[in-house]
Every structure is written in structure tokens, then in C-alpha cells.
């Protein structure tokens, strides 16, 4: 995860934070680990997994999502990626509340695994929130055959 400053170290720039929302805590954590592991020599991006319910079951938790977003917010924006429909609805409800998520939090329409990797790798370059969102969304075009 990120250092306490949320800065890249070399350039001193603030990095976009990434929150990965899954119905499963294990899936969210595994995708976060994968994305961070593929960054290579880039800056350490603040990434948080927000998976499952408060009691550890399958589902989503507005409280876990809000806490995760606050934990990765370094002032450059927060990109939130989700796995399934009700996770999207939970994030949209939090955004509609207006004060539940940090300013500059954006729900990103992207495939969960590929989008998370693209978002974290792009954020590690010091890119802004729009570029992180675009890179994650572009993952829809990745072909496997």
C-alpha cells in the first residue's frame, strides 16, 4: 500500500487513489494485490479493497466503501471500480449523498480485474484522475484471442 504521504517520492506528486469494490472481500483483496504487484518500478499507489459486508459475508457495504475511499484519498481523486450491479448501485448512492465519499471520487465503468490493473498502473505514473479512468475504461477493448 501507499506510504503515509501518498506521494510518489521521486516527483513529489499526489497520486490518484483506487478503491476496488467486490461482493467478496477475498476477491477485492486479491485483485488489489494483483494490480499492485504488476506496477513494477512505478510509484506506490494507494489502493484499498472494499469487499463483502461488515459481518464478513458476501455483499457490499457502504461503510466499508466510504472508509476505503477516505483511506486512499491523497487529494488527486479516487477511482472506484466495482464487480457487479449492486456494488455499482451502492457507490452511486454514496456519490448521490454528496458527503459520504471524498471530493473527486469517481465511479469508473471498467472491467473489474483488467480495469483495476490499468487504473493502478496508470496512477503509478502520476497520471490524473481522468487519465486513470480512461485507462481503466479502455480495458473493455482488450482482446484475448
For domain 17-140, the CATH superfamily is Phosphotransferase system, mannose-type IIA component (3.40.50.510)
Task: Give every CB contact of residue 98 below 8 A, 6+ residues apart in sequence.
Answer: none
Provide, rounded to the nearest whole percent, the portion of the chain with pLDDT above 90. 84
Q: Go through 124-141 and write b for each residue having 16 or more CB atoms within 10 A of its CB, e for each that does not.
A: bbbbbbeebbbbbbebee
Q: Would you list the DSSP string of 89-136?
A: HHHHHHHHHSSSS-TTEEE--S-HHHHHHHHHHHHTTT--HHHHHHHH
**pLDDT for the residue 12:** 53
Higher pLDDT, 144 or 136: 136
Confirm if 98 and 19 have CB atoms less than 8 A apart: no
Question: For all residues of the chain together, what is the average pLDDT?
Answer: 91
Write down the pTM of the prediction.
0.90
**pLDDT for the residue 2:** 36
**pLDDT for the residue 32:** 97
Model confidence pLDDT, tens digit, residues 38-80: 998 777 999 999 999 999 999 999 999 999 999 999 999 999 9
Confirm if 113 and 100 have CB atoms less than 8 A apart: no
Kindly tell me if the per-residue pLDDT of 33 is higher than 50.
yes
- Domain boundaries of the chain, sorted by first residue: 17-140
**pLDDT for the residue 40:** 80
* C-alpha cell at position 53: 459486508
Give 82's strand partners.
21
Higher pLDDT, 35 or 43: 35
Model confidence pLDDT, tens digit, residues 119-131: 999 999 999 999 9
Confirm if 80 and 91 have CB atoms less than 8 A apart: yes
Kindly tell me if the per-residue pLDDT of 11 is higher than 60.
no
**pLDDT for the residue 4:** 38
Confirm if 81 and 105 have CB atoms less than 8 A apart: no
* C-alpha cell at position 52: 463483502
Kindly tell me if the per-residue pLDDT of 7 is higher than 90.
no
Amino acid at each position: 500500500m501507499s506510504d503515509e504521504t501518498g506521494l510518489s517520492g521521486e516527483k513529489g506528486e499526489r497520486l490518484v487513489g483506487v478503491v476496488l469494490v467486490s461482493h467478496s472481500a477475498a476477491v477485492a483483496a486479491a485483485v488489489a494485490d494483483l494490480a499492485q504487484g504488476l506496477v513494477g518500478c512505478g510509484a506506490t499507489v494507494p489502493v484499498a479493497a472494499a469487499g463483502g459486508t461488515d459481518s464478513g459475508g458476501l455483499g457490499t457495504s457502504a461503510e466499508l466503501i466510504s472508509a476505503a475511499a477516505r483511506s486512499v484519498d491523497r487529494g488527486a481523486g479516487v477511482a472506484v471500480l466495482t464487480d457487479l450491479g449492486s456494488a455499482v448501485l451502492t457507490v452511486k448512492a454514496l456519490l448521490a449523498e454528496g458527503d459520504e465519499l471524498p471530493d473527486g471520487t469517481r465511479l469508473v465503468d471498467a472491467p473489474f480485474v483488467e480495469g483495476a490493473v490499468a487504473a493502478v498502473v496508470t496512477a503509478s505514473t502520476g497520471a490524473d484522475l481522468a487519465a486513470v479512468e480512461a485507462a481503466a475504461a479502455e480495458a473493455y477493448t482488450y482482446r484475448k484471442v
